[in-house]
Amino acid sequence: MFSQPNPWKFGKILTMPDTCPECGQPFEMEVGFWYGTGYVSYGLSFFLSVATFVAWWMLIGLSTEDNRFFWWMGLNAVFLVVMQPWLMRLSRVVWIYFFVTYDADYKQTAVKKFDYETESYYRAKSQEGEGGTQ
């Protein structure tokens, strides 16, 4: 899905072809399509923070008597910054998956496109719940 395999090559983090080289699926399905990835990466960052918090709690422990909690906060912030390129990409993968699910018959079926002329687009959008509200 991304042109540069290494997410930590800065400047190329979000470089993508316009369509999937394998099935022709367009990636940016409407103007501002990737705006919704903000919510996805927020959620992913939150879950990563919970994970590091639990790991820190079990491996290092927490106490009100010292600064261990603040060490976790600082290191977790650094960790999230370092993971950012990977998170940005994962967010796009998760986001487009809300709209385009894997299709084993992709060679026979048409690519997914948003159709602004039909009511069904808006119906489908409200049925997708939080993933489709944007």
Residues near Zn ion (CB under 5 A) are 20, 22-23, 25
Min dist CB 30 to Zn ion, Å, is 18
Nearer to Zn ion, 76 or 92 (CB): 92
Please give the radius of gyration of the chain, using alpha carbons only, rounded to the nearest integer.
Answer: 19
Nearer to Zn ion, 17 or 38 (CB): 17
Distance (Å, rounded) from C-alpha 130 to C-alpha 134? 8
E strands within 1-134? none
Distance (Å, rounded) from C-alpha 67 to C-alpha 53? 14
Position of tokens 């159709």?
A: 115
Amino acid identity of residue 73, one-letter, is M
Nearer to Zn ion, 22 or 65 (CB): 22
Cβ neighbour number for residue 95 with a 10 Å cutoff: 21
Distance (Å, rounded) from C-alpha 104 to C-alpha 4? 25
Min dist CB 109 to Zn ion, Å, is 11
Nearer to Zn ion, 19 or 118 (CB): 19
Min dist CB 20 to Zn ion, Å, is 3
Determine the residue with CB nearest Zn ion: 20
Min dist CB 115 to Zn ion, Å, is 20
